[in-house]
Amino acid sequence: MKQIQDKTYKEFADIKHHIGTLQSQQLSDEELSLLYERLKYQFTNLNQQVAVTQTLKPSSETQPIHKRQKIKRDKPLIQQQGKSIALPKILKQPSTEQRPKKTKGKLKSAHIYQANVLNRELRLNPFSDLPTILDEDLNKGVNNLIQSGLIPKDVDVGPAFKRGEELLSISQVQVQNPTEKSKYYNTGYSENLTKYKVAPQKQTAKQIADYSSSFVERQSVPREKIQQMKVVRKAKYIIEIKNGHYVPDFHYQIRHLMIWGGIMHIIKKLEKIASGQLDGDRIAQLAQSQFKIHLIELYECYISKPIMERLYIINKKQFSVDSAILKIQATVRMFVASRKYRHQKRIVQKVIRIQKEFRLKQTYVYTINQIKKNMGQLISTLENRQKQFLLEDLNQKRIEIHIPSYSIKQFQRLSMSHFKSREGLQLTRLFALKDPNVSIIYVCAPLQEEIMAYFYKLLEVAGINPEGRLFFIHPENINRFPQHYSLALLLYLSPKAIHQISELIKGQFSYIVPMRVGKEEFLIAEYLKTNIYSGPYELIEKYSKKSEAFELFRQLSFPVAPEYHQFVSKDDFVDKLTVLIMKNLTVQKWMFKIDIEFNGRGTAWFSLEGVKQFIEIKKFPHSIEFKVLRELVQTLLPIKTVLAFPQMFTFEEYLDNFIRNGGIVEAYPNAQKVQTINIQVNLENQGTYQILNTSTSIVIKEMSKVGCIYPQNVLNLNVDSLIQPLVDELYKQNVFGYFTLSLLSFNGAFYTKSLKFGMDEYIGATVLSTAMDTDQFTYIPFVYHPGIAEQKFNDLFIKCRKEGISFDIEKKVGTLIWLSDQIEKGVLSLLCLGAPKKAVKLTTDALNFLQQFGGNIMKTNSHQKQDTFYFIDIVSRLRQLNSEAQQ
């Protein structure tokens, strides 16, 4: 106690000496009065400390009992603008709670507890850590918890004692008079709020009238008077500095707890300037700023206008400097913020674009997977139905649904010249009506009456009565979709046509006879609840690829040419080709074939014949270096490679397509005469097979097939012994239907070449010849002459009869010409029945007539990337074959 009094008198002596020093500096009376109030406040605090010390001095009779143990806590961390700030650790003072004196006797009714008082540490620092609540504290009641500081005083404990919802109450709303100054503004003192009791009041007519009159009076107040009334600046939250010290506001601290350290730093500076009311929100903004705070910004925190004016006058010079600094800083901040905003905007735009692309990709992948999933379910359902179809007998009454559709990939359909006309050239399928148990539903585009009459006449010649057994179905939406859509897809998109087919086959045994099996045929079969005269789609697609067919041929020990078909990149393609050349130095020509292409569309060849460097290398076969030969092959590859359809690809495009879709590189025989042999087979659903015919391909450009000569007489071959193991292997995997096996014949030997599934136009021609009781004919399915499109339909057949281009009905020998749909398109087919030599001559005469009828044409370079067969190339090849046959 004596030490505190000595310290108090010493500080008071220092204050008195300081006042004398300040008086010698001749300060103004107003500044001296402010300083005096501040020093008086400090002296009062010293006296209070002395009084508190005397009060808290423990007596010798009672000793404090500490029932609560100290809880060691680490300094809490507060995250503020990306930095971790450690708060100071506040130690708890021991509780001043004393044990009550023991009373004599026993209390019967209840226990009496002495209420706890707020401990000294919480009284001096309300923001220190709260002590732990024990069971003994809970037994003493809620009031004891509030008095001891365990529950803050501003906490509403009323909801803890409520039971159920409040009853509905209705009262009239009080309209406040705007001219009356509100008493309930936030002054920073929570105790002021307890002085007023807010209760609903009834509104009278007089109060409403006073409000209306005051509103009229307020509108008549001059503007200058209103400006004079604005002495105090509006603020959302007001705090106060009294006598040079900040008046603590618990609510304000809780509101800005995360930046309280910065706020206190600013408040300490404001305590040194002047007392008054301050804008709490403005101080919070300055605390969050990353720049240096200037004096003018501190002055703007004051709400009272006289204080601000006085401070401006005292520090006018400093304000001018600070104003310039603030202007420069504001400009720099503006440019920094603008640059940051533009940068952030660019980032956000890129992020939004990436998000859109990612979501679009997710949607696309999800849709594709869902389509695959649905397609897999449909195919699995159809495969189960197909297994039952394997047990059906085809000698019963049945309906065949013929869909002559090129169900191939879209880019292949786009690159086919006269795509629609090629699909319409398969009317030869109608001659399957030769079997009296067969009825045909033929799906096609609308046909001209002349073409229909022409084929009905041919059916009559073949002894076929189509009445009641032949139905033509035309998809109603065939002209509403793009021209490159396949016929099967157009049928699937035409519900009326599918409904007509379902009505025709209702209750009858039926199946679809496809041309090239695709997913569209399976969808149609599933919709019609019928079958497909073909094997599973996956196996058909697999064995239609040349590389997979070679694996099957090698498994069956069929003779195959040296080949390789697994390429990863262009460099890998060059490496594997070099290895093949090193192992087969006698091979002069190598064929490149894309897996999914047909009719020579994806064919190219690489010839080393006459290359001097290669001839020199072959002289020393044991000393060949791979690196030297590879450089030679890589140099010669783009120069010596010849494409079957150069208008479709450049060499680079062809090689990219080859690597992307897969392909095969095989050796071409070193023979003067190499021919392609085709074997047409019908593998029925019960495992029996029938060899329909064999033919020799009419080839132009080395490997481009334009027609066939039936039957083949090039190779003396036991066809049954060759076909039997292939048929057994295919049927073992539930594959049946029409297919064509191609062989490459040279010098009395052969290589197996490829497999083709479906009833194509060549098998259709075989069906027609079988109905005409012959197997000897020549067939060219696609002939295009632009000059024919300028002639009339009747003129064509009149001039044919004059030139002797006709068909003998009795002998069933001669030339048959039919159009696809319209003569204006200039597309037709030629079929000449007769012995091979005579059939070739008839075909040559017919082509010569068409050249005279349509006029001579020359080859023209087309800008369209399509597989165009030039008329003059076909004529030249047939003339060559005719001259060879006549010899």
> How far, rounded to the nearest angstrom, does the alpha carbon of residue 226 sit from its chain's CA centroid?
63
Per-residue pLDDT tens digits for 438-479: 999 999 998 888 888 888 999 999 999 999 999 999 999 998
d(CA 670, CA 674): 9
Q: Tokens 């359909």 — which residue?
A: 413
Nearest Cα residue to 252 out of 265, 270, 239: 239
Nearest CA among 703, 700, 701, 742 for reference residue 881: 700
| End-to-end Cα, the chain, rounded Å | 144
What is the reported pLDDT for 433? 94
How high is the pLDDT of residue 620?
Answer: 83
Q: Which of 552, 557, 554 is nearest to 729 (CA)?
A: 552
Q: What is the DSSP string of 252-289?
A: HHHHTGGGHHHHHHHHHHHHTT--EEEEHHHHHHHHH-
Classify residue 617 by burial, with Cβ atoms within 10 Å: 0-12, 13-18, 19+. Answer: buried
Please choose, from the candidates 311, 346, 486, the residue with its C-alpha nearest in 3D space to the C-alpha of residue 416. Answer: 486
Does the global pTM surpass 0.85?
A: no
Report how far apart, in Å, the C-alpha atoms of 781 and of each of 65, 91, 544, 707 are: 115, 103, 21, 7
* Distance between CA atoms of residues 507 and 560, nearest Å: 47
pLDDT of residue 832: 94
- The owner of tokens 């707020």 is 118
pLDDT along the chain (887 residues), means of 10: 53 56 54 58 53 44 41 41 39 44 45 56 65 72 73 67 51 48 40 41 44 40 42 68 89 89 90 87 88 79 75 62 76 90 92 92 92 82 83 90 91 87 88 94 90 89 92 93 92 94 93 89 89 88 91 93 90 93 90 88 89 85 86 91 88 92 91 91 92 92 85 88 93 92 91 92 92 91 84 81 86 86 76 91 92 77 73 90 86
Contact indicator for 396, 508 with CB cutoff of 8 Å: no
Question: What distance in Å separates the CA atoms of residue 776 and residue 832, rounded to the nearest whole number?
Answer: 9
Q: Distance (Å, rounded) from C-alpha 554 to C-alpha 565?
A: 13
pLDDT at 861: 59
Nearest CA among 535, 481, 521 for reference residue 401: 521
Pairing of strands 510-516, 531-532: parallel
| Strands in 617-731 per DSSP E | 641-643, 663-668, 674-683, 689-700, 704-710
CA distances for 148 relative to 48, 89, 96, 118, 133, angstroms? 22, 21, 10, 4, 10
Instruction: Give per-residue pLDDT as tens, 195-235.
Output: 434 444 444 444 444 444 443 343 444 444 434 444 445 56
DSSP 195: G
Cβ-contact 210, 177 below 8 angstroms: yes
Query: Residue 807 forms beta bridges with which residues?
Result: 814
- State the burial class of residue 591 (Cβ atoms within 10 Å of its Cβ: 0-12, 13-18, 19+): buried
Which pair of structure tokens corresponds to residue 433? 């009506």
pLDDT at 366: 93
Q: Which amino acid is at 738?
A: Y
